[in-house]
Amino acid sequence: MRVGAIDCGTNSIRLLIADAEPGIPGAAPRLRDVVREMRIVRLGAGVDATGWLSEEALQRTFEAAGAYAEQLGRHDVDRVRMVATSASRDAGNRRAFAAGIRERLGIEPEVISGDEEARLSFAGAAAAVPQTAEGRSLVVDIGGGSTEFVLGEADGVIAARSHDIGSVRLTERYLSSNPPTEAQLRRLVEDVDAAVEATLETVPLDTATRLIGVAGSVTTVTARALGLRRYDSQAVHGAELGIEEITAAAGELTRMTREQRSDLEYMPAGREDVIGAGAQIWARIAQRIGELTEGRIRGAVTSEQDILDGIALSLLS
């Protein structure tokens, strides 16, 4: 079966077209990429303050959806699923968004809950970084509008929590300077710490034995920590970094101006203005998980597979 998955977040819209291939006996099928593409459309620009998707953001997203529709048709896809996350959940005009997507793709975009977003993120990451029978993995998915904390074992998710602390949202909320000031960064960290404390109410973060980070903020920090000149998905995927390395790379990215970040060859166009917030969110979460596990977790694994892969896998159920 050939499946198509579209993930429409606050910052980007992404497409995966993949073929299902048999896995080992008794295991779920594996995905072989045919097309994997990302466009930064900033759908959620301003939504934290206004509660509405702007007309300009909608048009950027619809243009990308139209291009994806052509790709899906060209590659003769059997099944398609499109998922929309944080920005679409929060927007008062999400019906206009849904209508525009239906017109271009011929399918209904699913505006999913934070819990469903967490489950799909875990499924995608777990497929790439297999779970050990005795351990518990904490998958952290840092998006543009929200961040998901998902704790799971080999047989699936134990508990999950979603919080509105994404890279776009916290950039708009706090990081108005270029580069941000120490006072602005302290306010951002306070929000992250509050989210971690709230997560502890329902997710036993201190029982995790491994930390896995997914999505663009994490992969960009990893590229920085590895000293890559150009982005190399093979080097980034599966990379293990210590918490100190994550913190140092996040600090370097945050101290740069937007103009300096845009000159980095591994920086996707459109992420340079929000990576400071995304990097700081990831570094602070890694630090807090290290503290909560009393040093049992000393670093994190980066996975290039995330909610997009989870959406594709859900079509094989």
Is 224 within a domain? yes
- How high is the pLDDT of residue 27? 56
Say if 122 falls within a structural domain: no
Q: Quote the pLDDT of residue 121.
A: 85
Same domain, yes or no: 141 and 100: no
Of the three residues 114, 147, 178, the one that is the final residue of a domain is: 114
What is the CB neighbour count within 10 angstroms for residue 269?
A: 8
Can you give the three-state secondary structure of the chain, one letter per residue? CEEEEEEECCCEEEEEEEEEECCCCCCCCEEEEEEEEEEECCCCCCHHHHCCCCHHHHHHHHHHHHHHHHHHHHCCCCEEEEEECHHHHHCCCHHHHHHHHHHHHCCCCEECCHHHHHHHHHHHHHHHCCCCCCCCEEEEEECCCCEEEEEEECCEEEEEEEECCCHHHHHHHHCCCCCCCHHHHHHHHHHHHHHHHHHHCCCCHHHCCEEEEECHHHHHHHHHHCCCCCCCHHHHCCCEEEHHHHHHHHHHHHHCCHHHHHCCCCCCCCCCCCHHHHHHHHHHHHHHHHHHCCCCCCEEEEECCCHHHHHHHHCCC
Residue 227 inside a domain? The answer is: yes
User: For 284-311, what is each residue's pLDDT tens digit?
Assistant: 999 999 999 999 999 999 998 888 999 9
- Domain assignment of residue 313, yes or no: no
Asked whether the predicted pLDDT for residue 189 surpasses 70, the reply is: yes
- What's the total number of domains in the chain? 2
Domain boundary among 52, 82, 114: 114
- The pLDDT tens digits of the residues spanning 226-277 come to 999 999 999 999 999 999 999 999 999 999 999 999 999 999 888 999 999 9
| Per-residue tokens: 303 | 């996975």
Q: How confident is the model at residue 28 (pLDDT cuts 50, 70, 90)?
A: low
Q: According to the model, what pLDDT value does residue 289 have?
A: 97
* 26 has a pLDDT exceeding 60: no
pLDDT at 178: 92
Let me know if residue 251 belongs to a domain. Answer: yes
Q: Which structural domain, as residue segments, surrounds residue 254? A: 127-307
Q: Are residues 180 and 297 in the same domain?
A: yes
Of 68, 89, 114, the one marking the end of a domain is 114
**pLDDT of 44:** 81
Are 255 and 290 in the same domain? yes
Q: Are residues 158 and 277 in the same domain?
A: yes
In which band, very low, low, confident or very high, does the pLDDT at 112 lie, cut at 50, 70 and 90?
Answer: confident
Tell me if the pTM is above 0.75. Answer: yes
Residue 281 belongs to some domain of the structure: yes
Assess whether 257 and 142 both reside in one domain.
yes
**Are the C-beta atoms of residues 15 and 35 closer than 8 Å to each other?**
yes
The CATH code of the domain that includes 243 is: 3.30.420.150
Q: Mind listing the pLDDT tens digit for each residue in 140-158?
A: 999 888 899 999 987 788 9
What value does the mean pLDDT take over residues 39-56? 85
pLDDT interval class at 205 (50, 70, 90): very high
Determine contact, residues 145/164, Cβ cutoff 8 Å. Answer: yes
